[in-house]
Amino acid sequence: MKENKLLRAARMTSLVALAAASIAGAPLAHAAQSIPNKTLVYCSEGSPAGFDPAQYTTGVDFTANTFTVYNRLVEFERGGTKVEPGLAQSWDVSPDGKTYTFHLRHDVKFQTTSFFKPSREFNADDVVFTFDRMLNPNNAFRKAYPVSFPYFTDMGLDKLIAKVEKVDPYTVKFTLNEPNAPFIQNMAMEFASVLSAEYADQLMKAGKAADINQYPVGTGPFIFKSYTKDATIRFDGNPDYWKPGAVKLAKLIFSITPDASVRVQKIKRDECQVMSYPRPADIAPLKAEANIAMPSQPGFNLGYLSYNVTHKPLDNVDVRHALDMAINKKAIIDSVYQGAGQLATNPMPPTQWSYVKNLPANAYDPAKAKALLAKAGLSNGFEITLWAMPVQRAYNPNARLMAEMIQSDWAKIGVKAKIVTYEWGEYIKRAHAGEDDSMLIGWTGDNGDPDNWLGTLLGCEAVNGNNFGKWCYKPFDDLVQKGRQTSDVAQRTKFYQEAQQIFAKQLPFSPIAHSTVYQPVSKKVIDMRIEPLGYARFDGVGMQ
């Protein structure tokens, strides 16, 4: 069965294209929809850094912008990782795997807001603008508002995509420099959200290009109304949404509530109907609430401790192994995850195809750790900073407690760790800049492909992005690159399994745990799904 799934995944592009062509049929005019007069309040765990999806890599940002305001050419199905048609109703792939031609939907409207009134519908110009901005350093909008595009560059798309061309108003052609097996999966990801070229032109003429990050405009199910940092984000249902029946809420409100215990109280009092990231200790009490449902599923995630290999002595592989084997991971799983976590050994979760079972991993052994430090000339230990995330995540429900436990474990081998934290946006920004020695971070898979773990977190192209350890190791990276260049699943699996063996020897980060994901939701909410890729989305969600 698994083999069949993998083969289907390899052929997904052509199969979905055929299905899309038959489903899409003739273009339809989309009349304004009647939206039920219902309001849903979501207790989210943090403030987004902004509303420009291409700039960001965290679930806080994606929930607040990508799946509310925007669409992509292709989309992940709700509650899954299968790709389905989005703004492209179908696509073709050339026999050599290097040309993708997307056939766009007609009659798709950009949102009308208090700050933008579109004069035309979505077309190829918007797709070309969206990707040229990321691809072309001389793009006028990019010059007016210079930002980095971490996902785009982490996955090497800036080098992979040779050009993006408008064939006609409803056809766009992407030419790649080489075949790329995960390309369609990657195009469903958040960074590929399509922007309005007309809106961008308006902002540039007004000298306000940066407003694209504060006042978003897309084709998605919800229209941005207002944002008060650390308090609320307000959206209205989009009556012109191109997908009939998908918008079932007149108003969607994010109540930003960083304290998990406060989120619990709010959902109990029906002040919000959906909440993010319950603490393990809150799971049983929430299950006992008559008006709250607690669906759960194994998490497609990994919590880990990154080592900045550009900082001595963390460039020494023996030191990294010593730090790893000094950590009592079982105690962390018992205390931090409280029964909702499993020990991690690999740089990806067990449900990811190509995962290596029984990958060599260090046992908890402080005496051996001390001996390795002595071998590295550090018998007296050393000092190190240990960064702890300020937010909860499914992959790490309590980073502060985890950091304190690691600090205590390391003290036993003579390593003095100073715990450091920052506000979440600042934490990520400083980590990208390489200020940390070691840091707690994690990942929830974005697209169901192994490249999203091995390439995005550990590839050389990701050194200034999500490769927080700044680890660039050519034998490993060569395997990742080879895995991208063939669509043969058996061959890709071989490359990725070899890469995991190298990871285990080099240990640029210490895998800690995979967690179970719980989604507390009021029983008044209809069809809220747990998203395996780590965000929340509210298209298709209704209220009684």
CATH at residue 479: 3.10.105.10
Instruction: Yes or no: say if 33 and 379 are a contact pair by the CB < 8 Å rule.
Output: no
One domain, residues 446 and 526: no
> By C-alpha distance, which of 390, 370, 394, 368 is closest to 380?
370
What the block records as the tokens of 181 is 């097996």
Query: 179 with 486: CB under 8 angstroms?
Result: yes
Beta-carbon contacts of 285 under 8 Å, excluding residues fewer than 6 positions away, are 264
Report mean pLDDT in 10-residue bins for the chain, 544 residues: 35 38 39 88 94 90 92 94 94 95 98 98 98 97 96 90 98 96 92 98 98 98 96 97 96 96 97 93 94 91 97 98 98 91 94 93 97 96 97 91 98 98 93 96 90 95 94 98 90 97 98 94 97 91 97
Q: Which residues are paired to 306 by β-bridges?
A: 439, 509
d(CA 174, CA 98): 8
- Whether 524 and 448 map to the same domain: the answer is no
Is 250 in the same domain as 331? no
For the record, the structure tokens of 100 come out as 């993708």
Do residue 205 and residue 342 come from a single domain? no
Q: What's 36's domain CATH number?
A: 3.90.76.10
Is residue 50 included in any domain, yes or no?
Answer: yes
Please answer whether residues 154 and 218 qualify as being in contact, where contact means their C-beta atoms are separated by less than 8 angstroms: no
Q: Tell me how crowded residue 505 is: count the other CB atoms within 10 A of its CB.
A: 11
Q: Residue 11: its pLDDT value, please?
A: 37
Residue 433 and residue 538 in one domain: no
The answer to whether residues 525 and 513 belong to one domain is: no
CA distances from 402 to 200, 276, 397, 438 (A): 43, 20, 9, 13
pLDDT of residue 260: 92
Specify whether 245 is located in the same domain as 366: no
Residue 343 burial by Cβ neighbours in a 10 Å radius (0-12, 13-18, 19+): middle
- DSSP collapsed to 3 states, 35-96: CCCCEEEEEECCCCCCCCHHHCCCHHHHHHHHHHHCCCCEEECCCCCCEEECCEEEEEECCC
Residue 527, classified by CB atoms within 10 Å of its CB into exposed (0-12), middle (13-18) or buried (19+), is exposed
- Domain containing 54 equals 2-257+520-543
Residue 454, CB-side half-sphere exposure with 13 Å CA sphere: 34
Best CA proximity match to 457, nearest among 491, 480, 478, 434: 480
Query: pLDDT value at position 141?
Result: 98
Residue 380: which residues within 8 A CB-CB, separation 6 or more?
Answer: 414
**97: alpha, beta or left? (left if phi > 0; alpha if psi -120 to 50):** left
**Residue 166, domain member (yes or no):** yes
Q: Give φ, ψ of 41 to 5 degrees.
A: -110, 130
CB-based burial, 436-448: b 16+ in 10 Å, e otherwise: bbbbbbbbbbbbb
Residue 91 lies in a domain: yes
Tell whether 270 is covered by a domain: no
In angstroms, rounded to a whole number, what is the distance separating the alpha carbons of residues 287 and 313? 46
- Count of residues making up the chain: 544
Question: Domain count of the chain?
Answer: 2
Q: Distance (Å, rounded) from C-alpha 304 to C-alpha 113?
A: 41
Based on the fold, state whether residues 476 and 527 are members of the same structural domain.
no
346 shares a domain with 243: no
Are both 460 and 533 inside the same structural domain?
Answer: no
Residue 426 CB neighbours (<10 A): 12
Quick one: 98 and 193 in the same domain? yes
Tokens representing 378 are 């550090």
- What would the two tokens of residue 55 be? 């700039």
Pair 520, 274: CB distance under 8 Å = yes
- Angle among Cα 539, 67, 194 to the nearest 5 degrees reads 120
DSSP 407-453: HHHHHTTTEEEEEE---HHHHHHHHHTT--SEEEEEEE-SSS-THHH
Residues 297, 529 contacting (CB under 8 angstroms): no
Is 215 domain-assigned?
yes
| 318 shares a domain with 186 | no
ω into residue 313 within 30 of 0, thus cis?
yes
Whether 276 is covered by a domain: the verdict is no
- Inter-residue contact 320 to 313 (CB < 8 Å): no
E strand or H helix that includes residue 303: strand 301-307
Distance CA 141, CA 153 (A): 18
Eight-state DSSP code of residue 252: E
Whether residue 263 is contained in a domain is answered as no
Please report whether residue 222 resides in a domain.
Answer: yes
Sign of CA dihedral 218, 222, 227, 231: negative
Q: Where are the alpha helices (DSSP H) in 136-248?
A: 140-144, 150-154, 157-160, 183-187, 197-205
